[in-house]
A and B are shown apart, each in its own frame.
Chain A
Amino acid sequence: MNRPELFDEDFLKKLARLKWLVQKTVYSGTGGEKSLRQKGGRLEFSDYRKYSPGDETRYIDWNIFGRTEKLFIKEFAREESFPVYLLLDTTTSMKTPGPARNKTKGIKFKYTCQIAAALGYIGLITRNRLQLFGFSDKTLKHSPVFQKENQIFGALKFLESLIPHGETHLTLILNSLNKQIRKKGLLILISDLMGFQPASPAGKPESESLAIAGLAPLSAGREILEFVRRGFDVSIFHLLDQEEEQPFAPPWRDGPVKLKDSETGATKTVFINKKIELLYRQTLKQFIEEWHSFCLQHGIKYFHVDTPAGAGLETLILTFLRQGGLLK
């Protein structure tokens, strides 16, 4: 078995044609600021930019100058091997909604694993190093570093070993991860981000204990930005289930509904009506937009992903991630 059975042959062929699009500069572990594209390896045309004094004139595109009488410098990128870190949310919320949709781990978590497998496969096929992390409670479980294409099975085995459980302590996990990984690279976080805002609400103290108690949301932005600051190319897959976005199908009903948090067990009684439904959707949309805006502001690639009803993975990988600038 040379190929993961998770995907069909055609999809794998399509995955094999994909490459990482790394646009950010990342920090090397030791030296000053360098661009990945300036490091060794095969040079490949990357882009044009306006000529600035001091640029080498041999890279001026004279053809363009002849047509536009403006000076443009051709940029070249060098393909470089870099680590790909996939950080997977394996808390209880990832298997919720419950067994009605998925009898074991939940459809959200299954989709998380599918995305991780696909991205991991791309990582290995492009000869990058791949390391998987799964976090729940305050524990960070990590896989070995995979470097070869045929090690995808090891990655899949690791994914299968993950069981969603426990609570989310994203800030602690990110902080811990930040200390664990030295080599900068591509960091992809797949999570529902429930309980965490990109920034703490104005005028409110940031307290994890309050957040865990369900009394206040916690900001995870600072920890993420730390990765950005270190030169990581960070992508966030904000994975939400359809039932989270449209939760009002039976057994939901108008009137009092007692909501139980799958992670903390905290309960809250709400009174559902059309107005509340609308307000919920607006708040959820605002939550998503906050993350989107935060990522956009800090050069983080943000993908709001809904668990698909059918074969949405292919569309996600082949279309959305390319459009989103993660792959090319």
Chain B
Amino acid sequence: MYLQYPYALWGLLLIPLIILLRLWRMKPVTITIPSIFIWQKISAATSEPPLRRKRLLLLLILQCLGVGSLVLALSHPIRSTFYSVSRNVIILLDNSASLKTIAPSGQTRWENLTGELSRILQALDNESRVTIITASGGFTSVVTEQTPADSLKHLKTLQPTDAPADLTSLINHSAGLINRSPPSAAVYFGSDQPPPDNLMDLLKIKPVWLLQGEPSDNSAITHLAATPGTGHNYDIFMTAHNFSKKNKIGRLIIYSDRQEIFSAPVELPPETKRSLTFPALDLLTDTGVLPEVIQATLTTDDDLKCDNTVWLNRQEKSTVKICLTGSNNALLLKILQSLPHLEIEYFPERSDIPNNNYDLYIYNNNLPDSIRTGAQMVLINPPDDFGPFRIKGKISNPQISYVNQNSPFLSYVDLKQIHIWEAVQVEILPEEKDYFQLLVSGSDPSRPGQTGVFPLIGDWLKSDPTGPSRIVLINFDLTWRGADKSATDWPLDVSFPVFWTNLINELTGDRPSTGEYAYHRTAQPLFLNLKDIGAQTSRAVTLVGPDGVVRSLSPANQILSFTPLQTGLYEIRGGAAPRKIAVNLCDESESNNNGETLSSPDLSAPMVNEKIFTVSSQSMVLWLAVFGLILLVAAWWLERQEL
């Protein structure tokens, strides 16, 4: 038991006061009267009652106890009762795409993680209750206070998604849940990357961290780049980490199309990140062909082979030709110009647009005269009806909604952080809505579902049988104009250029895995245009993963898309020549970059077989107050009883 307001105990000083008062009242007061004659006549009755002293003692006890109880009640005592309860187990589970990464053991990180969790769940008694919250693209409570057996069944059905981990949302949400749980709750955090420290502070209970990376005594290459020099020479740049506390000497081997072309010893001081530069490496192999993929491996005694090996696509990125027209294009133009490998032509008047073939047409606050055959178009804030859509009016402060939320190029874009002051209320004719790929929409919050929230069914305009076209409709002004409330603050968000990159990649069938830094990551969607790889039909295209498994792809018309989930070298076959794509880890942070392991010695959460007691806190204010009042009333009643 503890007291919430212990200073109220000063009130116990009333008890000696009561005793003194009682003693004072027991002392007879002397009164002079004319004569004690009358009192002599009733002498027998006025003698001290036989039970008087016992009654006084009882009164004193009752009053002291009553006052003591009330004082204790004022101090708000809280009674804590320890009792055995079922374990409340909370599992925070990172099921992001990086968990699909295959560890050297041959299993994916996900399999390792769920295997370990399965052992934990099996060890729990049946009275335990398990909550599992996953974190990918937000957080989802997949299991809520179920038995370990049921939770195990759910766990086996779970699979890592293609989305990145949203650990911030996960921990923010979990902190509330954990803090509502009894202190004995066991919290397990399964991920392959550490959460931010400041967010960990939200969790009052330090979770057991089930890092399904590899032991901390590792080194890794987290960055690899190559720039062409003269002839066949390339300058190779890389970043190598030594996460351990020991000095490491490894050997760096650079492969070109699986042939070793360079080897050098590398010294990595403890816990350092070191940039390595190897200039003018001749990448010509024995066959005399420049390799598409360059592989670098740092051979140390580490277990984390996937982090020790990186791949680099050497191919140059093709240029995308974009036609931009309309008004208020200054900011949009600036953003597009900042993206690599884009060739942008800007025409203030749409009548000035030449009859060239552009990969993409962007109409900002404008509309084309007609739909161009085979052209990809982005229509931003359309001023008038166009084709199969009708403008119904304006909406103030519309809600953001996505159409085709599974579209891969909305990855990494969180439109919840965006505010739109005004949008055009667009109605797509029901029979023609399939012609549009409405990506982003501001819809009327009072009439949800009416505008722009229907799912995407088809990507192509049916009216264009000769060449597929796709139209992306954005029904609000994308250009941020400060205080002008007709705009949006999206350009201020980091997702804005990401959105444009993904949008352009998808509409133009670009190969985002290639480029100067050629660092395609797991779980990042990859789009390929059939004509770029020289394939005639999409059915002929197959994909061979790093594990050697051949997969068939299901392209939608001319665009192939797939999401690589393993690190390593992918090969696309079925085109004019095999196309190699290197895929590395999703993110640098998902590398095994710091030393937390499965069996962390610093476990503050209870062990699995530990007997769990929890504490029930119950305020005793009411009971004590009632008890005290009853005692005082009893004392009051007793004092008024004649003996």
> Do the two chains bind?
yes
Q: Which residues of A contact B (CB under 8 A)?
A: 92-94, 96-98, 108, 192, 194-195, 214-215, 217, 241, 244, 247, 251-253, 255-263, 266-271, 273-276, 279-280, 283-284, 287
> Are A283's CB and B42's CB within 8 A?
yes
B29 interfacial by beta-carbon distance below 8 Å: yes
Assess the A97–B33 pair: CB atoms within 8 A. Answer: yes
The reply to whether the CB of B642 lies closer than 8 angstroms to some CB of chain A is: yes
Q: Which of B27, B32, B37, B39 makes the CB contact (< 8 A) with A270?
A: B39
Are the CB atoms of B36 and A261 closer together than 8 Å? yes
Q: Which residues of B contact A269 (CB under 8 A)?
A: 28, 48
Given A217-B41, A271-B47, A283-B41, the answer on whether A261 and B33 have CB atoms closer than 8 Å is yes
**A97 touching B34 by the CB < 8 A rule?**
yes
Which of B25, B35, B45 is in CB contact (< 8 Å) with A192? B35
Q: Are A260 and B26 in contact (CB under 8 A)?
A: no
A257-B29, A271-B48 known; A195 vs B42 contact (CB < 8 Å): no
CB atoms of B31 and A268 under 8 A apart = no
A273's partner among B33, B47, B642 (CB-CB below 8 A) is B642
The 7 A-B residue pairs with the shortest CB-CB distance, nearest first, are: A194-B35, A270-B46, A256-B28, A93-B34, A96-B34, A258-B28, A258-B30
Q: A257-B28, A269-B28 are in contact. Are A194 and B37 (CB under 8 A)?
A: yes
Return the CB mask of B13-53 against A: 1 if under 8 Å, else 0. Answer: 00000000000011111111111111111110111110010
B549 surroundings in chain A (CB, below 8 A)? none
What are 15 A-B interface contacts by the 8 Å CB criterion?
A: A94-B34, A194-B37, A214-B36, A255-B25, A256-B48, A257-B29, A259-B32, A259-B39, A261-B33, A261-B34, A267-B36, A268-B36, A271-B47, A276-B42, A283-B42
| A268 and B40 contact, CB distance less than 8 A | yes
Given contacts A274-B642, A276-B45, are A195 and B35 in contact (CB under 8 A)?
yes
CB distance from B443 to the nearest CB of A (A): 83
Cross-chain contact of A98 among B26, B27, B32, B48 (Cβ < 8 A):
B32
Contact B36 A259 (CB under 8 A): yes
Interface residue tally for chain B (C-beta within 8 Å): 27
- Which chain B positions have C-beta within 8 A of A97? 32-34
Q: Is the CB of B32 within 8 A of A268?
A: no
List 5 additional A-B contacts (Cβ < 8 Å) besides A108-B34, A260-B32, A262-B32. A195-B37, A257-B28, A274-B642, A276-B42, A287-B41
* A192 vs B33: C-alpha distance when bound (angstroms): 12
Instruction: Compute how far the CA of A175 lies from the CA of B101 in the bound complex, rounded to whole angstroms.
Output: 133
Chain B CB within 10 A, most for which of A253, A269, A270: A270
Output the least CB separation between A223 and chain B (Å). Answer: 18
How far, in whole Å, are A262 and B39 apart by their CA atoms in the complex?
13
CB of B19 to closest CB in A, whole Å: 15
Least CB distance from A196 to B in Å reads: 8
Measured CA separation A94–B34 after assembly (Å): 7
Taking the nearest CB of chain A, how far is it from the CB of B33, in angstroms? 5
Determine how close the nearest CB of chain B comes to the CB of A249; give it in whole angstroms. 11
Confirm or deny: B483 has a beta carbon within 8 angstroms of a beta carbon on chain A.
Answer: no
* Among A192, A251, A255, contact of B34 (Cβ-Cβ < 8 Å): A192
> Measured between alpha carbons, how far is A284 from B38 in the docked complex, in Å?
6
B35 nearest CB neighbor, chain A only: A194
Interface centre among B35, B38, B43 (most CB of A within 10 A): B35
Q: Of B27, B34, B40, B41, which contacts A262 at CB under 8 A?
A: B34
A257-B31 in contact (CB<8A): yes
Q: Is B577 close to A, CB under 8 A?
A: no
Q: Which residues of A contact B41 (CB under 8 A)?
A: 217, 283, 287
Report if B330 contacts A (CB, 8 A).
no
Contact A263 B35 (CB under 8 A): yes
B-chain residues with CB within 8 Å of residue A252 when the two chains form the complex: 29, 31
Which residues of chain A have C-beta atoms less than 8 A from B48's C-beta? 256, 269, 271
Please report the C-alpha to C-alpha distance between residue A43 and residue B37 in the assembled complex, in whole angstroms. 48
Q: Which residue of A lies closest to B44 (CB)?
A: A279
Do B45 and A279 touch across chains, with their CB atoms under 8 A apart?
yes
Number of CB contacts from chain A to chain B under 8 A: 112
A156 to B393, CA, bound (A): 117
A266 to chain B, nearest CB (A): 6
Question: How far is B29's CA from A258's CA once the two chains are assembled, in angstroms?
Answer: 6
Q: Which chain B residues lie closer than 8 Å to A241 at the CB level?
A: 34
| Closest beta carbon of chain B to A194's beta carbon, Å | 3
User: Are A96 and B38 in contact, with the CB atoms below 8 A?
Assistant: no
* B202 CB, nearest partner CB in chain A, Å: 64
Using Cβ atoms and an 8 Å threshold, which residues of chain A touch B39? Answer: 259, 268, 270, 280
A287 touches B29 (CB 8 A): no
Measured in the bound complex, the distance between the Cα atoms of B43 and A256 in whole Å is 13
Bound form: Cα–Cα A279–B42 in Å: 7
Which residues of chain B have C-beta atoms less than 8 A from A261's C-beta?
Answer: 32-36
Q: Report the separation of the CA atoms of residues A252 and B27 in the bound assembly, to the nearest whole angstrom.
A: 13
In the assembly, what is the distance between CA of A217 and CA of B516, in Å? Answer: 131
Docked complex Cα distance between A245 and B26 (Å): 25
Q: A93–B45 Cα gap in the complex (Å)? A: 24
Closest partner residue, chain A, to B641 (CB atom): A273
CB atoms of B29 and A96 under 8 A apart: no
Contact with A along B176-197 (1 / 0, CB 8 A): 0000000000000000000000
Identify which of B31, B38, B642 contacts A280 (C-beta below 8 A): B38
B324 to chain A, nearest CB (A): 102
- Minimum CB–CB distance from A18 to chain B (whole Å) comes to 30
Question: Quick one: which of A261, A262, A263 has the most chain B CB within 10 A?
Answer: A261
Whether A194 touches B31, Cβ cut-off 8 Å, given contacts A217-B40, A271-B46, A271-B47, is no
Closest CB in chain B relative to A14 CB, distance in Å = 31
A93→B35 CA distance, assembly (Å): 7
Contact indicator per residue, chain B 630-643, by CB within 8 Å of chain A (1) or not (0): 00000000000011
Which chain B positions have C-beta within 8 A of A108? 34
In the complex, the chain A residue whose C-beta lies closest to that of B642 is A275
Residues in B with CB closer than 8 Å to A270 are 39, 46-47
- Which residues from B are CB-within-8-Å of A259? 30-33, 36, 39
Q: Of B28, B34, B46, which one neighbours A276 at CB under 8 angstroms?
A: B46
- Which residues does chain A contribute within 8 Å of B30, judged by CB atoms? 257-260, 267
The interface residues of chain B lying within 8 Å CB-to-CB of A287 are 38, 41
* Bound: A11/B378 CA distance, A: 123
* B residues in contact with A214, CB < 8 Å: 36-37, 40
Beta-carbon nearest neighbor of B30 in chain A: A258
Q: Which residues of B contact A273 (CB under 8 A)?
A: 642-643
Q: How far is the CB of B378 from chain A (nearest CB, A)?
A: 98
Indicate which residue in B33, B43, B46 contacts A96 across the interface (CB closer than 8 Å): B33
Q: Do A258 and B33 form a contact, CB below 8 Å, given A271-B46, A275-B642, A283-B41? A: no
The 0/1 profile, CB within 8 Å of A marked 1, for residues 49-81 of chain B is 100100000000000000000000000000000
Which residue of B is nearest A194, CB measured? B35
Give Cα distance in the complex from A287 to B30, angstroms. 24
> What is the CB-to-nearest-CB distance from A235 to chain B, in angstroms, rounded to a whole number?
22
- Report the nearest A residue to B643, measured CB to CB: A273
Q: Which of B46, B47, B52, B643 has the most CB of A within 10 A?
A: B46
CB distance from B30 to the nearest CB of A (A): 4
* Smallest CB separation, B638 vs chain A (Å): 13
Q: Which residues of B contact A266 (CB under 8 A)?
A: 36
Distance of A96 Cα from B25 Cα, bound (Å): 25
A271:B52 contact, CB within 8 angstroms? yes
> Nearest chain-A residue to B45 (Cβ)?
A279
Please tell me if the beta carbons of B42 and A251 are within 8 angstroms of each other in the complex: no
Which of B30, B38, B40, B45 is packed against the most chain A CB atoms within 10 Å? Answer: B38
| Cα distance A217–B47 in the bound complex, in angstroms | 19
Closest beta carbon of chain B to A279's beta carbon, Å:
5
In the complex, residue of chain A having the shortest beta-carbon distance to the beta carbon of B640: A274
Query: How far, in whole Å, are A224 and B42 apart by their CA atoms in the complex?
Result: 26
Output the least CB separation between B635 and chain A (Å).
Answer: 14
With the chains together, A284 CA to B36 CA distance in Å?
Answer: 11
A96 CB contacts on chain B under 8 angstroms: 32-34
Q: Which residues of B contact A244 (CB under 8 A)?
A: 33-34
Which A residue's beta carbon lies closest to that of B32? A260
Cα of A215 to Cα of B37 in the assembled complex, Å? 9
Q: How far does the Cβ of B31 sit from chain A's closest Cβ, in whole Å? A: 6
Q: Are B33 and A262 in contact (CB under 8 A)?
A: yes
